[in-house]
Homo-oligomer: A and B are copies of this chain.
Amino acid sequence: MSFDREQVLRDAADLLSRRATASMDEIAKAAGVSRATLHRHFPGRDALVRALGVLGIEQTEERLDAARIEEGDPVEAVRRLIAEAVPVSGFLAFLYGENQLYDFAEINDGWARIDARVAALFRRGQEAGAFRYDLTPAWLVEALYALIAASAWSVQDGRMARLDAARMVTDLLLGGMLRTPRSDS
């Protein structure tokens, strides 16, 4: 049995995003390793959470890059963003829910960078006249994370098919954000 660091962190994120109170023993079990092994690789809860945060930020930023959210039509950019974000929704759910729990500068910085990029996309869409003006970019960012996290949990609980997650989030979020004659009234 060898230690797959990334898979362990992924499993930990999934569990901790649902149960922040999970013990190290429970996390180890969920990840399929022994507590001693978990401890050898992450010497304490803080170290585990830091590693989770760092990897989550890294992967999310990679996905934002892959989605090229700064380019092209903002509506299509949001579609690409969600399509890229959903496979790392476990990490995003952890980061979104847990950034209140731990005060690590590098995670806060990373989260702020991601926030800024996503908010800039929403602002760009407003300036291009595609998105509603009356929903603030800050709220749209918050809503994006909340819906992605919710979709991750629905998939985890078997209430949504994994293949449907991106479409459900996209349709609901974009449907709400798009500027229409109705939304301008």
Contact = CB atoms under 8 A, between A and B. Distances in A.
Interface residues of A, number: 37
Contact of A172 (B18, B138, B153, B177): B177
Contact of A160 (B100, B101, B138, B168): B138
A175 B183 contact: yes
* Majority-rule SS of A interface residues: helix
Interface stretch (A60-68, A104-112, A143-151): A143-151
Interface of A: 18-21, 97, 100-101, 132, 134-136, 138-140, 142-143, 145-147, 149-151, 153-154, 159-160, 168, 171-178, 180, 183
Given A19-B101, A142-B153, A146-B147, 20 more contacts: A19-B20, A19-B100, A132-B171, A132-B175, A135-B171, A136-B168, A139-B151, A139-B154, A139-B160, A142-B151, A142-B154, A143-B147, A146-B149, A147-B147, A171-B176, A171-B183, A172-B173, A175-B176, A175-B178, A175-B183
